[in-house]
Amino acid sequence: MSNPNYPRHVAIIMDGNGRWAKKRMLPRAMGHKAGGDAVKRTVEAAGALGLECLTLYAFSSENWKRDEGEISDLMNLMRRFIEKELEAFLAEGLKLKIIGDYKAFAPDIVEKLEQALDRTSGGTRTLAVALNYGAQQEIARAARLAAEEGSIDPESIEKHLYTADLPPLDLLIRTSGEVRLSNFLLWQAAYAEMLFMDVLWPDFGEQHLREACETFAKRERRYGGR
């Protein structure tokens, strides 16, 4: 059951797959696989906690700079995840949303994503996945579209963000102990609460998400006021 003091919209920078694998002397690909299991747990936990929207930073526009083998592993993991979890998304009433330029991926991945978007369109809770996403690029794109309509101001830019149809971002979490935003939801995070957690992403689960929501519920949000 949803707690009215919990956030409506939580976003997570899922960090630490590589370090998780290194600590266990495993290939990085195993860290990414374990990270995929954490995604499944967290999506289920978000439902149990009554969150309206969960946004996950899955693949940034800068991730293309990684080793070709690692990128290939990530793409294959994405393929398998969509195929394996789509029915579960449908059963849980999830609506999938992609933020970012996902059409830059291989044609078969684009097709799988668009099929998933279509099949989950009737969902009542949102899982937004950031793919080939960068916040600076998003803001530049939104400003360009706003200019084409003749006006550039916060309202016109916000209307053209990928997240325009989502609830305002309440809580942004980053795992692995790193304290930076890494070009993720820079506009949306203007008045979001932030929480940096030491847990590596593959170890993240319902307890951590619940603790984050409890921490959020105790904070006083002022939006620049006193």
User: One of 3, 63, 76, 183 is an active-site residue; which one?
Assistant: 63
- The encoded tokens of residue 25 equal 């002397």
Q: Is 15 tagged catalytic?
A: yes
Q: Is 63 tagged catalytic?
A: yes
Residues in the chain: 226
Helix (H, G, I), strand (E, B) or coil at 189: helix
In 55-134, which residue ranges form alpha helices assigned H by DSSP?
68-91, 107-119
CA gap 53, 155 in Å, rounded:
22
The H or E element spanning position 155 is helix 154-159
What count of other Cβ atoms lies within 10 Å of the Cβ of residue 47? 15
* Active-site residue list: 15, 63
